Amino acid sequence: MNAPRSLTAGLIGRGILASQSPAIHEAEAFDHGVALAYMLVDFDHLGLDDAALGDTLAFLRGVGLTGVNITHPFKQCVIPLLDEVDATAQALGAVNCVRFEEGRTIGFNSDWVGFCWLLESELPGRSLERVAQTGAGGAGSATAWALLSMGTRELRLHDVSYERSTALAERLRAHFPEARVEVCDHAAEAIAGADGVVQSTPVGMTDHPGMPFAAELLRAGQWLADVIYFPRESELVLAARARGLAAVGGEAMVVGQAADPFRRFTGLEPDRARMMRKLRERLAPRTPQGALP
């Protein structure tokens, strides 16, 4: 029997040492008989400035990585550093996957595909007609694209940066002229009367605790999708459930968005259901020894 291939990939971002990406990619590769080492390049932990991103990409390409995922806060600023960006990522204005190929860096975006899978697998049958979204950064670009691709007719955007939400709205209108994309000054304006709410900011992550808006703005009958998956259930998800909403965290999105980079890094076809099952097993609360289940 031939020894499994050996590959190395990674993730670049800030505050990512708790990321499940290494386990997701390495476990799926193992099930395919491939030895994949997936490294975390945490700019906070390494004490690197944002300006080091270009040199970091060049170094990782030079030492033989097959590619890297890109996360907060680099999904947008990485674009001008790349040799090529595919059309969808260019339209989104955000890259979350860089493939190193024949000395070139090629950018893609799989976040929007991951969010489509979240909606399909975690919130099936929910109305997507009128949706409010908080956050217009890299993740927000992807979730908005996914919503409009899946038939949302009215999308209301709110972001702490009016300029950022306006820029995203303009890009979306150019690609989805049949939809109505509004920019709202306040979260309350966006959420009122919406069928569902998407939370796509870093607020609620372990390193960014809190909620991006008051839970009192939510109403029973709405659904809520939070892109955050660590912690597994953000403060906002728990508050939304307490108010009677169908609310989910970002587990399915992280698996859905990991599948395409895994394919690009390894050339193998990922099993999303298996990846999801194993992620949930890792994130499930552990029962202390001797305690009742």
| Rounded distance between C-alpha atoms, residue 246 and residue 220, angstroms | 8
Stretch 22-47: mean pLDDT, rounded?
97
Question: Is 3.40.50.10860 the CATH classification of the domain at 6-109+258-283?
Answer: yes
pLDDT value of position 4: 55
128 Cβ partners below 8 Å, 6+ apart?
119, 147, 150, 151, 152, 195, 196
Contact assessment for residue 169 and residue 194, using Cβ atoms and an 8 Å cutoff: no
pLDDT(269) > 90:
yes
pLDDT value of position 3: 44
| Rounded distance between C-alpha atoms, residue 151 and residue 178, angstroms | 10
Q: What pTM, to 2 d.p., does this model score? A: 0.86
pLDDT(197) > 80:
yes
pLDDT(47) > 80:
yes
Catalytic residues: 75
pLDDT value of position 2: 53
Say what percent of the chain tops pLDDT 70: 96
pLDDT(283) > 90:
no
pLDDT value of position 138: 83
pLDDT value of position 285: 67
pLDDT(167) > 50:
yes
DSSP character at residue 57? H
pLDDT tens digit sequence for 206-259? 778 999 999 999 999 999 999 998 788 999 999 999 999 999 999 999 999 999
| Rounded distance between C-alpha atoms, residue 165 and residue 136, angstroms | 5
Stretch 77-81: mean pLDDT, rounded?
97
**Domain boundaries along the sequence of the chain:** 6-109+258-283, 112-249
pLDDT(1) > 80:
no
Stretch 55-68: mean pLDDT, rounded?
97
The residues pairing with 102 across neighbouring beta strands, listed in sequence order, are: none
pLDDT(58) > 50:
yes
pLDDT value of position 206: 79
Which residue in 237, 264, 267, 263 sits closest to 250, CA to CA? 237
Stretch 185-201: mean pLDDT, rounded?
97
Q: How confident is the model at residue 205 (pLDDT cuts 50, 70, 90)?
A: confident
Architecture of domain 112-249: 3-Layer(aba) Sandwich (3.40)
